[in-house]
Amino acid sequence: MEFPAALFPSFFTAGPPREEGGPAPVAGWGEHGQVLEAGPGRRQAQPAFVPRRGAPGERWEAAEAAAVPVLLPRAGCWIPSPAPQDILYRSGLCRKLQAGKCGATLDFAKQLGHFFVDHPEDAFGSLGRLLHKNFYLGNAKLKRPARNSTIRMTALVEDIDRLEARRGCPRQHLASRLRWFSHLCRDWLFEVPLGLLADCLHEELAQHWSSLLFDDSLTGGALAWLPPQDGGTPVGRLVHPGGQAMNHLYFQDVVLEELPHTQGLPAQFELSGCIRQVAAARVDGQDFVGVRSDYHCGVWRVPGKTGAAPTPLQVIRTDVPASCLTVSPHLPGELSVCTQSGTVYLWSVETGLQQLRHDPQTMFFRDHSPWRWSDFTAHPRVLSCADRTGLQCLDARAPKRCHFDLFKVGEEAGCQQGERVVLPMYLGRAHPSQYLVTTQFSMYVLDERLPLVPVLKWAHMMKAPPLFAHLMPGKPGRNHKVVLGASRTQELLLLQYRDSFWGVSSGGSQSACQLAGTPQKLHSIAGSLQHLPTQLPHRHHLLQQRLSAPAAGLAATLQENGPHKSMLIFQLSEAGDVFCQRLFHKATQPPAPPSRDEATTAPVPSPAAVLRYRRWLRALSRAWKEPPQHTWPPSLSQRRLFTRRDLEEPAGPSSLQKQMRQRLRQTMQEGGRVQRWEPLALQPPPLPQTLELAGGPDPLSNRLTAAWAGDWDQWWEERTSFSVAQRQRALRERRRRQKRARGRRSLPASFTSSLTYQSELSELSDAGPSLLSPGRPPVLSQEGSPPAGSPPVRSHPPSPAPDEALLSSQSLRCRGIPKERRKTLRDYLSVWAEGPPEPPELPGSQASQLCFPSSQSQLSSASQPLRKRPRMGF
Amino acid sequence: SSNEHKLNFKKSKEACLSYIQDALLQKQWKRAAEFLTCYVESLEKDYSREHIGPSEMIWRIGTEIFWHHSQRRMKEFSCFMEQMKTLGVKRYLKVCLEHVFHLLYNGQIDEAYQNLSLAESWRFGEQTAIQDKEIKLIQAYRGLLDYCSWSKQKKILLEHGEDGFADLTVEQEMHGYFRKAAVNLKEIIKIPGVWDVFVKCYVDLLEFYGEHNEARQVLNDYAYNSKFPANPNAHVYLYQFLKRQGESKKSLISALKILHDIVPSHELMIDFNTMLQKSKKRKKRQLGLEVIFAALDYAGWKENAKAWSRLARQVKQIVISEKHLDWIKKEWNSRKDWWPDFHFSRYLAKRNWQENKSLSYEKALVAGILLGKDCKYFKYVSHQGCKVRLKRFRMLKKFVTRHNPVYLRISG
């Protein structure tokens, strides 16, 4: 592609942005920006000028009054994520305080109260049980001998109620009884030390709040469209997440007719994490689909033939959440991965991972966000990496030496103060060296041959930052189309730009980039509410809530049917709904008569769309009618975990069992451990030596040992007297580890920089490829050899996938197991899973695989045999 | 209650703005215009401290509506713009500039010139940094229009000159334009920025009057001043100028070498390669090979038949002479792990064969030498070529088979 013979004039200043910024609602209108003398126009009598913005664009008109659902809602209830009113403190007093701009106040006390009421067992379990004799809950007066050792709780509760009634009153005084009680018990009553619990809760709330304000984990979007192959039938494929926890990946064939409709059952994969991003690129006629969840990234290959099954190729695991996954448009099976610790990898299915950069600091100035992004450029060996402050390109062959700055948030690009990069995207399909960068205020088009100076800049005026973008390249001489999408507000904006206005045929060379036509707002999912049949008020409310769920992805495609050109735009919501809309291209006409506006689309949807709405609503109400699982009391039936045979009481201990028991007892007396069960013939694979044993047995084994020896009482004594300080320390340590693993969003910048992240992906694999069964995608290891200290050969048989899937948070949540019990269950199962040789039987509901029995839980099973304990990182 | 009234007014202002925005984004110009007439009231109580105040909003929205809705009634638009200019002192120059852009876009060059002259003479207190830039741009565009008039006069003069008729007034007028244009253009190109159009015009003026040294100085500054962005065009202009001046090969090569360093994928790399190839020095020829390899690394060059034929020819020469195989080896070393998938896959062999036979011929030659006769690309293309009995494909097959040991030496 040739470089434009002349660029639009612009000033160039280096340094931080000077212009004071802020959201500007109309900043994108009414400006030409610059003009440029057009064409080889020396022959003309007068020079002709073209503007950077404001030249007429193509006319695209919506075919329908609103977006139409493509997929029917699946069974299972969508649980909306918390809304601001759930976690913010609301009272008259606070509102007054807020008027003084003190920001949002998190309703921390309410949440803590909820925890105590909803999970008393976890909050006060052990002491509650020990002391329950000393608390009296009745109304009657206490008698003399009992009064010495019993507290009457009714009075306390009354006091609390009174306090609640006076909430917000500036003159509220604590009742002395309450103060006395809290003073007395604060230090020992709680299972988890109160200060620590409060710390953790507050942190969690703050995190929820910040993700409510701006959730960047969705950047890039979780929807991909694999267009039909050239000359084939108009059947494309939609790749989208689904399921209650958005942890199912679907490849759904979609027929592109007037209203696109699905064809056949989708290929389905269950993953062990919520899908955040789905990226796709077509190389050599094959589609490569990258899928990112927080701690796993996977890649699928979809062969070019219609109806060919997608095959999973490889999975990687990260210790720190991944923030980006892009697929190379140049080379098959190449991807780039970024994690929140500031590491960028080039990931090749054939050769593995190559670390290109590791820098927890941001590039151009300090910014606290751990978000990183990376994409490909015109050179297959040069990758761009981005953080909130800008973009750099680096050569994968010498990443330390060869790099250049592509975009800086600064005066170079005429940025505003406070402007931050939101989404970079390689525009290679339209122009091999162009790049799109969106910020919360503007969109920029950059040419990597002229770094730092945007060839196009426009204030997009969107209410929420555009997290999604989709490019539809135009044929030579035609406009390229870009759709920008925001998450929270579901906004969709269609833009047109072109990079040649003289046309290649007229002998002119490439010309500078121009924005053509006016930006156009597209239908959002929420907009279809008014066209759905009227519902009962509460249903209407639920429907409204569902339809206005934040958008989670965007895909689009151009369709040419002879002279008729149309554009299809798909939008995915966090509830898993995919809606689409079609726009028709109107051939260039003389400017519309001034009396009439362009938007003359029918205010009512077409009969076909009405039918589609009806069917969608019917399916949705069916899904609602199913008893939502999470309202059942949380219980765990053993029956679902063990087969009947497992639970069956044996008629009497067999001789083998007797022998074993004896041996067990003996070993325990000796303080040793059972290394190998005899007879050997029954148990060929030796149990792997777990590292936990070296550091002392875990609490459960302790307890079991004590119980076995008959001195369980003593153990309990010891446990309860286990000093608070020690417990606090242990918990702090754990919390810190978790925090580190999660990568913090709200830490001040100075803090983030001081945190040293452990090398990620280290736990990926320490087993050689010999362990991998052919049916499973191989898992990559960062270093090829097993880490020192671990046994050289691990002949632990590959544990069955369901075991792992069972332990994933999502599947536990689906099962209605409350959060705090999941760990217990996991611990329980993990201990148990290491012991018995046989895999547990599948619970009935696990058989969710529809089409590909071998591909169930690909992600989790891949990393499974390599872990010391079958416990997931989240 | 006055406070409440103020709040309500603010609220209704915001609501009105969002209606306008909605209408604009849906191309409902008339609706937007109706709302805008209501929004004008917001000017009365403009207490806002936001960086875009109501007057600027009205200017922006109004302009946008005029562009699309008024059937380009320029008179009304100009009237609107005049009003907008008086609405805010700080924005006067910006609005002027935008007005001029619109006039230029619509071919009203003379009106644009008048507006520029007016804006240039505008003075109001101390100028902010932005206004300073705007006034510079206004002067530069005036210089550009002066240049346009100059070149028009030049054309007349040249045409009439052929008839043997020289008009003194035309020449004088033309000289006047030259002076006016030169002064303004010279100013803007001193400031760091992208001034392609202005630089081109200024150099054209200087060249016409024989001031080659100054032209060279200007172009050198534009290309090599480190305060300016790394604009490939600056180097292109310098190269073209040197070429026009009939400079030596050496200086042309050094100009293009710098362009190669900053943009290895520039289309001039073909010319650069040709020049280097003709050189007698070994080093230059090696650089030539490097340049063509580097260009073909880029996605935009993937199907550039010219570049492939250049590479094929050079590789063939080296193979036949059996000298400098290490050059190929050096280039191939950093590419052998990804070029096969990037350029020489079976899929591409099929597609290239279908779309462009001569491209697939050149590529097959390169693939055959670099990857041996068993490479997928070469095999497919030579097979297809032999099937349709094209002589050159048979020759190609023979050549590659004969020189197959070369591949082992390159990849070894």
Q: What is the residue-wise DSSP string for A686-739?
A: PPP--HHHHT---HHHHHHHHHHHT-HHHHHHHHHHS-HHHHHHHHHHHHHHHH
Which chain B residues are Cβ-neighbours of A596 within 8 angstroms? 30
Look at residues A853, A840, A846 and name the one whose alpha carbon lies nearest to residue A815: A846
Kindly compute the dihedral angle of the four CA atoms of residues B250, B252, B255, B261, in this order, to the nearest 10 degrees.
Answer: -80
Which chain B residues are Cβ-neighbours of A15 within 8 angstroms? none
pLDDT bin (cut points 50, 70, 90) of residue A762 is: very low
Q: Are B367 and B318 in contact (CB under 8 A)?
A: no
CB atoms B101 and A32 under 8 Å: yes
Q: Given a cut of 70, is residue A838 above it in pLDDT?
A: no
- Percent of the residues in chain A that have a pLDDT greater than 90, as a whole number: 35
Residues in chain A: 874
pLDDT value at position A675?
67
What is the domain range of residue A126? 108-163+177-210
> Which phi and psi angles does A471 have, rounded to 5°?
-105, 135
Enumerate residues 152 to 171 of chain B having a beta carbon within 8 A of any beta carbon in chain A. 152
CB atoms A42 and B68 under 8 Å: no
Q: Are A475 and A486 in contact (CB under 8 A)?
A: no
Residue B403, H or E segment:
none
Which chain A residues are Cβ-neighbours of B69 within 8 angstroms? 594
pLDDT value at position A804?
46
pTM of this prediction?
0.78
Both tokens of B378, joined, read: 């070469």
Q: Within a domain: residue A267?
A: no
Enumerate residues 90 to 109 of chain B having a beta carbon within 8 A of any beta carbon in chain A. 98, 101-102, 104-105, 107, 109
Q: Within a domain: residue A495?
A: yes
CA–CA dist A332, A287 (Å, integer):
9
Q: Given a cut of 90, is residue A671 above it in pLDDT?
A: no
Tokens 């959201």 locate to A23
CB atoms B109 and A46 under 8 Å: yes
Among partner residues B59, B62, B194, which is closest to A453 by beta-carbon distance?
A: B194
> Which phi and psi angles does B335 have, rounded to 5°?
-120, -15
Q: Given a cut of 60, is residue A739 above it in pLDDT?
A: yes
Q: Are B382 and B371 in contact (CB under 8 A)?
A: no
CA–CA dist A553, A560 (Å, integer):
24
Q: Within a domain: residue A140?
A: yes
CB atoms B231 and A521 under 8 Å: no
Q: Would you give the distance in Å from CA B271 to the centre of its chain?
A: 19
Q: Are B318 and B410 in contact (CB under 8 A)?
A: no
* CB hemisphere CA count around A215 (13 angstroms): 20
- Asked if B345 is an interface residue toward chain A (Cβ–Cβ < 8 A), one would say yes
Look at residues A612, A577, A387 and name the one whose alpha carbon lies nearest to residue A490: A577
Q: Are A320 and A739 in contact (CB under 8 A)?
A: no
Q: Given a cut of 50, is residue A773 above it in pLDDT?
A: no
CB atoms B29 and A598 under 8 Å: yes
pLDDT digits (tens, 9 = 90+) for B18-60: 999 999 999 898 899 999 988 887 776 666 666 677 888 889 9
Q: Are A388 and A410 in contact (CB under 8 A)?
A: no
Average the pLDDT over B122-130 and give the result.
Answer: 77
Q: Are A30 and B63 in contact (CB under 8 A)?
A: yes
Q: Given a cut of 50, is residue A609 above it in pLDDT?
A: yes
Which chain B residues are Cβ-neighbours of A32 within 8 angstroms? 98, 101-102, 105
Give Rg (Cα) of chain A. 31
Enumerate residues 174 to 193 of chain B having a beta carbon within 8 A of any beta carbon in chain A. 188, 191-193
CA–CA dist B400, B407 (Å, integer):
9
pLDDT value at position A21?
73
CB atoms A591 and B263 under 8 Å: no
CA–CA dist A73, A579 (Å, integer):
11
| CA angle, residues A22, A23, A29, in degrees to nearest 5 | 120
pLDDT bin (cut points 50, 70, 90) of residue A173 is: low
Structural domain ending residue among the three candidates A569, A595, A626: A626
> Which phi and psi angles does A291 have, rounded to 5°?
-125, 130
pLDDT digits (tens, 9 = 90+) for B383-412: 999 888 788 888 888 898 888 888 778 877
Question: What type of residue sits at position B156?
Answer: I
Asked if residue A609 and residue A538 are part of one domain, the reply reads yes
pLDDT value at position A579?
95
Which chain A residues are Cβ-neighbours of B18 within 8 angstroms? 25
Which chain A residues are Cβ-neighbours of B229 within 8 angstroms? 12, 412, 450-453
Q: Are A226 and A237 in contact (CB under 8 A)?
A: yes
CA–CA dist A725, A147 (Å, integer):
32
Among partner residues B29, B52, B140, which is closest to A24 by beta-carbon distance?
A: B52
CB atoms B57 and A48 under 8 Å: no
Q: What share of chain B is helix, strand, coil (3-state, %, to 5)?
A: 75, 0, 20
pLDDT value at position A207?
85
CA–CA dist A742, A869 (Å, integer):
20
More confident residue, A355 or A872: A355
pLDDT digits (tens, 9 = 90+) for A612-639: 999 999 998 888 776 545 445 445 555 5
Q: Are A456 and A495 in contact (CB under 8 A)?
A: no
Number of domains making up chain A: 2
pLDDT value at position B122?
83
Which chain B residues are Cβ-neighbours of A8 within 8 angstroms? 194
CA–CA dist B311, B302 (Å, integer):
13
CB atoms A378 and B345 under 8 Å: no
Give the mutation candidate from B68, B153, B343, B380 for the A interface (greatest A CB count, under 10 A).
B68
| Shortest CA gap B261–chain A (Å) | 11
| Shortest CA gap A534–chain B (Å) | 26
Asked if residue A123 and residue A200 are part of one domain, the reply reads yes
Asked if residue A190 and residue A117 are part of one domain, the reply reads yes
Among partner residues A2, A48, A519, which is closest to B267 by beta-carbon distance?
A: A2
Q: Given a cut of 70, is residue A867 above it in pLDDT?
A: no
Asked if residue A70 and residue A154 are part of one domain, the reply reads no
Asked if residue A192 and residue A67 are part of one domain, the reply reads no
Both tokens of A24, joined, read: 């500007």
Q: Within a domain: residue A577?
A: yes
Q: Given a cut of 50, is residue A757 above it in pLDDT?
A: no
Q: Given a cut of 60, is residue A152 above it in pLDDT?
A: yes
Average the pLDDT over A659-687 and give the result.
Answer: 67
**Partners of A493 in the beta sheet?**
A484, A521
CA–CA dist A763, A765 (Å, integer):
6
pLDDT value at position A869?
34
Asked if residue A206 and residue A71 are part of one domain, the reply reads no
| Shortest CA gap B8–chain A (Å) | 16
pLDDT value at position B114?
93
Q: Within a domain: residue A228?
A: no
pLDDT digits (tens, 9 = 90+) for B232-244: 999 999 999 999 9
User: Each residue of B250-288: b (16+ CB within 10 Å) or e?
Assistant: eebbebbebbbebbbbbbbbbebbebbbeeeeeebbbbb
**Shortest CA distance from A31: residue in chain B:** B98
More confident residue, A386 or A47: A386
Q: Within a domain: residue A70?
A: yes
| C-alpha separations of A565 from A17, B97, B246, B292 in Å | 42, 38, 51, 39
pLDDT bin (cut points 50, 70, 90) of residue A668 is: confident
* CB hemisphere CA count around A670 (13 angstroms): 9
Asked if residue A481 and residue A621 are part of one domain, the reply reads yes
Asked if residue A203 and residue A130 are part of one domain, the reply reads yes
Which chain B residues are Cβ-neighbours of A519 within 8 angstroms? 25
pLDDT bin (cut points 50, 70, 90) of residue B373 is: confident
Q: Within a domain: residue A417?
A: no
| C-alpha separations of B173 from A548, B147, B168, B208 in Å | 67, 12, 9, 15
pLDDT value at position A817?
59
User: Beta-strand (E) ranges in A529-657?
Assistant: 551-561, 564-573, 578-586
Look at residues A70, A58, A224 and name the one whose alpha carbon lies nearest to residue A582: A70
Q: Would you give the distance in Å from CA B293 to the centre of its chain?
A: 24
Average the pLDDT over A24-50 and give the result.
Answer: 76
pLDDT bin (cut points 50, 70, 90) of residue A556 is: very high
User: Beta-strand (E) ranges in A107-208?
Assistant: 135-136, 151-152
Which chain B residues are Cβ-neighbours of A521 within 8 angstroms? 22, 25-26
> Which region, left, alpha or beta, applies to residue B27 given φ > 0 means left and ψ of -120 to 50 means alpha?
left
Locate all alpha helices (DSSP H) within A743-836, ordered by sequence. 749-754, 801-807, 809-814, 819-834
Asked if residue A68 and residue A154 are part of one domain, the reply reads no
Q: Given a cut of 50, is residue A44 above it in pLDDT?
A: yes
DSSP notation for A642-685:
S-HHHHSPPSS--HHHHHHHHHHHHHHHHT----SPSSGGG--S
Q: Within a domain: residue A482?
A: yes
Asked if residue A71 and residue A203 are part of one domain, the reply reads no
Asked if residue A538 and residue A487 are part of one domain, the reply reads yes
Give chain A's mean pLDDT.
Answer: 76
Q: Given a cut of 70, is residue A831 above it in pLDDT?
A: no
Q: List CB contacts of A135: < 8 A, sequence separation 6 or more.
A: A150, A151, A153
Question: How many CB pairs below 8 Å do chains A and B form together?
Answer: 201
DSSP state of B38: H
> Which phi and psi angles does A395 have, rounded to 5°?
-85, 125
Which chain A residues are Cβ-neighbours of B68 within 8 angstroms? 518, 591
CA–CA dist A426, A523 (Å, integer):
25
Asked if residue A70 and residue A190 are part of one domain, the reply reads no
Among partner residues B229, B299, B338, which is closest to A432 by beta-carbon distance?
A: B299
pLDDT bin (cut points 50, 70, 90) of residue B361 is: very high
CB atoms B105 and A54 under 8 Å: yes
Question: What type of residue sits at position B76?
Answer: E
Q: Given a cut of 50, is residue A680 above it in pLDDT?
A: no
pLDDT digits (tens, 9 = 90+) for A284-294: 989 999 999 99
Tokens 């010309």 locate to A511
Both tokens of B169, joined, read: 């007034």
DSSP notation for A181-245:
HHHHHTTTS-SS-HHHHHHHHHHHHHHHHHHHH--GGGTT-S-EEEPPPTTS-SEEEEEEEESTT
> Which phi and psi angles does A197 have, rounded to 5°?
-60, -45
